[in-house]
């Protein structure tokens, strides 16, 4: 699975998310940036053109489907919006079936971006039986 950050605003969250991604590479440590394939695209359309055959899921508090309803596949793209405003409505229009949310109380505005990425990414990895992760040091043995 791929993590897509649409216009991220807070460097600390971006760093936490990169570390989350690196932690799923064998022997990832504190010096993890070399383990993460960071790509910067001029706009979302450029991303779609580069990866036209991927499935995209959009994290938004306005979604009707929860993140755990999705049956994730290797190669899925998980798209997260900026911390202060989320993904723009113009990007979500017509994509209601692929918008996902993390359940929370109505009074809560949202979760921290790096926490939301971790919750959704780990649900996907759990469904896929933690691909490429072994009991060697930091993960439970799968089945």
Q: What is the predicted pLDDT for the residue at 8?
A: 94
In b/e form, how buried is each residue of 63-93, taking b as 16+ CB within 10 angstroms?
Answer: beeebeebebeeebbbbbbbbeebbeeeebe
Q: What is the predicted pLDDT for the residue at 142?
A: 45
Q: What is the mean pLDDT of the chain?
A: 88
Beta bridge partners of 100: 59, 65
pLDDT digits (tens, 9 = 90+) for 11-59: 999 988 988 888 775 444 456 667 778 889 999 999 999 999 999 999 9
| pLDDT bracket for residue 139 (50, 70, 90) | very low
Mean pLDDT value across residues 93-109: 94
Task: Report helix, strand or coil for 57.
Answer: strand
96 has a pLDDT exceeding 70: yes
| pLDDT bracket for residue 132 (50, 70, 90) | confident
Tokens 């998310």 belong to which residue? 17
Q: Secondary structure of the chain: what % helix, strand, coil (to 5)?
A: 30, 10, 55
DSSP H helical ranges for 23-112: 44-50, 89-92
């Amino acid at each position: 699975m791929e993590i897509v950050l649409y216009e991220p605003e807070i460097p600390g969250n971006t760093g936490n998310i990169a570390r989350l991604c690196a932690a799923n590479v064998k022997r990832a440590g504190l010096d993890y940036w070399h383990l993460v394939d960071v790509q910067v695209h001029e706009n979302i359309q450029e991303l779609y053109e580069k990866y036209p055959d991927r499935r995209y899921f959009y994290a938004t508090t306005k979604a009707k489907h929860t993140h755990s309803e999705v049956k994730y596949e290797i190669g899925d793209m998980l798209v997260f919006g900026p911390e202060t405003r989320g993904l723009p409505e113009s990007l979500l229009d017509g994509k209601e079936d692929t918008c996902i949310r993390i359940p929370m109380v109505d009074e809560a505005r949202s979760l921290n971006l790096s926490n939301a990425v971790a919750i959704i990414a780990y649900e996907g990895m759990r469904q896929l039986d933690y691909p490429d992760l072994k009991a060697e040091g930091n993960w439970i043995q799968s089945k």
